[in-house]
Amino acid sequence: MTTTAIIGDVHGALGPLEALVARLAPGPVHRLVFVGDLVDKGPDPAGVVQYVRHLHETAPFEIVLVEGNHEERHRRYHDNTAERPKVARDMAAEAPELSALDAQLSAGDRAFLAAAIPFLRLPDWGALIVHGGIPAAMDSFPDTAEEAARLTGAERDSFRKVLRTRYIEAETGKFLALGRNQPGDPFWADVYDGRFGHVVFGHQPWLEGPACFRHATGIDTAAVHGGRLTALVLPDDGAAHFLSVPGIDHAARRSEDWPAHPGGNLRLGNRGAG
């Protein structure tokens, strides 16, 4: 049996991450899972990558990185510097943080990020960890990361939307790109029916604390926006609970981009409750 702690979006907030790991490490944690978006926005994204990589190589517990959309974007940028230099230049012109971080990371750091997995299942808890969310129109989900890696074409593109899903189209349940949602288009977790398990996700910041839906739990608690950095702890024996530390006030809050906080209580109960 394994006690798992799942950490929300860090976004370059190295100090809060070190403080949270220090609070977790003295306990019986056997596996530390990052829900993605270690990088960008905060003051020290390279330091965060190097710190998590160091944990992966030296800590007496397992480290798992679930890929976020920011890791995926940096990976594409680095690949394009060799394969499609003009595309890489265009990407960097639009987002200068891409070239800045790439220059600070070693080959080993980039390999660590590239080894991130698209999701993690926790069968004992009936849980599925993804970075973004599940569009209501999605009717199947890979059993393993290896199965996901074998997807090609439209199937692969459809699956990869789990990195970026926030709002979905009201009538069809299809993924909506950032800023494309209209009044009445729901946040995905408001309508998710639990078909793939209880989803633990990041991507969407919740300044008021973890967001608890019927079949999903959001743990990006806006550490880089003046909120907190949060871990969802799933113990060997007992109920799931949250642990958090203060974040940093790095960026202006864009509350108009955030859906209403759902309130409610954590739905994951004792081990095996699903």
Q: How far apart are CA 164 and CA 142, in angstroms?
A: 17
Q: What's the whole-number average pLDDT of the chain?
A: 93
Tokens linked to 156: 């692969």
Q: How many CB atoms lie within 10 A of CB 171?
A: 8
pLDDT digits (tens, 9 = 90+) for 192-207: 999 999 999 999 999 9
Residue 83: count of CB within 10 angstroms of its CB:
10
For the cut 70, the answer to whether the pLDDT of residue 271 exceeds it is no
Cβ atoms of 199 and 128 within 8 Å: the answer is yes
Pairing of strands 198-201, 120-122: unpaired
Tell me the mean pLDDT in the region 148-153. 95
Domains of the chain, each with CATH number or no CATH: 4-130+202-257 (3.60.21.10)
Rg (CA), the chain: 18
Residue 258 carries which DSSP code? S
Q: Band the pLDDT of 253: cuts 50, 70, 90.
A: low
Does residue 39 carry a pLDDT above 60? yes
Q: Using CB atoms within 10 Å of the CB of residue 103, give its burial: 0 to 12 exposed, 13 to 18 middle, 19+ buried.
A: exposed
CA 166 centroid distance within chain: 12
Give dist(CA 126, CA 121) in Å, integer: 8
Report CA torsion sign: 159, 160, 165, 170: negative
Q: Which band of pLDDT confidence, cut at 50, 70 and 90, is reported for residue 1?
A: low
